[in-house]
Structure 1
Amino acid sequence: MTSRKWVRLFLTTLLLGGGLTLLVSFVVKSESYADVLNPFNFLELIGVILFFAGLGFIFSVISQMGFFAYLTVHQFGMGLFRSLWPGVQVFLIAFALFDLVYFRYRAADEGVSIWPYIWTAVALLAVGIIIAAIKAKETNKKAFIPALFFMVVVTAVEWVPALQADGLDYVWLMIIPLLTCNAYQLLLLHRLTGTPEKSVNEPAEQPPKINKQKKKNRKKNRRK
């Protein structure tokens, strides 16, 4: 990837994270805007907007750091585990989903239902499967498991700071930009680096057939 393409990826992901976090904040942090709108205070409103946009830029940078860390881990895993690497990734996906449910439920207050934690893990898995399926369709069928690993495991690791915060405001404020930025980078990568790879099941191109008449003419020319 050239430096120009990398800068394009960085800036577009940065703007995507900042803009999306700002939009989500209107819903999940509406009380922050209500405080400056009634009574109306222009300077405080600009401050709140800049705060959430800046928070989105931070989420975007976290997403990009996770993406490049994933690329490094993926290369390392293929070199270390070789043919076992897909199975290792599936195990790590299952372990990350289990962590999202079990450890968060244990840290919650007594009497809280486990179902919200289960549905959170299921929703993350569902989004990961959709993005991984698109990635595999546009590149190679072997890309499904690595893409799912990135969308589930890496996103869960990036999401940890919000999961440790009190309340659900920052949980939703962070996960939506993270998932969007991660999916954007994953699906844009093969477009920036070149033509998508062919499917592993796609037959190899056959050499062009040479016309029989041309073969005869060549033989005659050789005899002369």
Structure 2
Amino acid sequence: MNARKVVYLFFSTLLIGALSGAVVGIVIDPSTYFSGGFLNFLFGLIWILGISAAISLVAQMGYFAYLTLHRFALSLFKTTKLWNRVQIVLIAFVFFDLVYFRYTAFAEGTETILDYMVMPIIFLAFAGAVAYRKKIETNSQAFVPAFFFMFVVTTIEWLPALTVGTVNESKWLWIYITPLFVSNAWQLLLLHRLTKNSGPSLKKKPL
């Protein structure tokens, strides 16, 4: 992949992450942006775009870190099948942690563990949908690695927001997760398009 494609991947991911976070932030909390006049909206928009862009940078670092991990794991486990099984176990483990540990850390009053399952289930479903799309566009071996990346790696990137009590509100959790998830999905579904004419067959490069 040449420098022009790398630059395109970087800036397109930055833009899409920033815009997605800004849209969700405004939709979830419109009063913050529209209640104080034009200047309030302008400065609020610049702020949410900046925050979302910074979050998208975390997503980009996470993606290239996973690409390195993926290649290392394939050489370590020798077979794709074994590495996929390890990833499936880690997906289940992270889903459990995402529900249980947030429940034990933040649950108050009449809240039950079911209240803390809604967002992880939605997140898991969307991650599966993106991974399925990756599989359709490349090959069947891409599903598990793509699912692992979209769910586990995005959760790791999301971890600072999940562990800070001041953002344990639905609004802030969505504002943090949206640019991460959208940026990761964009990178995952774009990379094989950028590299399809510059390397070996996609059947040998599921990510």
What is the TM-score of this pair, normalised by structure 1? 0.82
Percent identical pairs in the alignment equals: 45
Match of 2:89 in 1: 91
Which sits farther off after the overlay, 61-70 or 77-86? 77-86
Instruction: Specify the SS of the correspondent of 1:159.
Output: helix
Match of 1:81 in 2: 77
Instruction: Specify the SS of the correspondent of 1:112.
Output: coil
Match of 2:173 in 1: 171
Mapped to 2, the partners of 1:166 and 1:148 lie a distance apart of 25
Moved over 3 A (4+): none
Instruction: Specify the SS of the correspondent of 2:44.
Output: helix
What is the TM-score of this pair, normalised by structure 2? 0.88
For residue 198 of structure 1, report the CA deviation from its aligned partner.
Answer: 4.8
Root-mean-square deviation (CA), in Å?
1.6
Corresponding pairs, count: 195
Residue 14 of structure 1 aligns to which amino acid in structure 2?
Answer: L
Residue 103 of structure 1 aligns to which amino acid in structure 2?
Answer: F
Task: Specify which of 192, 197, 200 is matched with residue 202 of structure 2.
Answer: 197
Instruction: Specify the SS of the correspondent of 1:170.
Output: helix
Q: Tell me, which stretches of 5 or more residues in structure 1 are unaligned?
A: 200-224
Mapped to 2, the partners of 1:25 and 1:58 lie a distance apart of 15
**Per the alignment, do residues 44 and 119 of structure 1 end up closer, same or farther by CA in structure 2, a change over 3 Å counting?**
closer
**Which structure has the highest helix share of the two?**
2
For residue 103 of structure 1, report the CA deviation from its aligned partner.
Answer: 0.3
Residue 159 of structure 2 aligns to which amino acid in structure 1?
Answer: V
Match of 1:105 in 2: 103
Match of 1:63 in 2: 59
Match of 1:160 in 2: 159
Instruction: Specify the SS of the correspondent of 2:169.
Output: coil
Match of 1:19 in 2: 19
Residue 107 of structure 1 aligns to which amino acid in structure 2?
Answer: A
Mapped to 1, the partners of 2:32 and 2:104 lie a distance apart of 31
Mapped to 1, the partners of 2:17 and 2:133 lie a distance apart of 21
Match of 1:183 in 2: 185
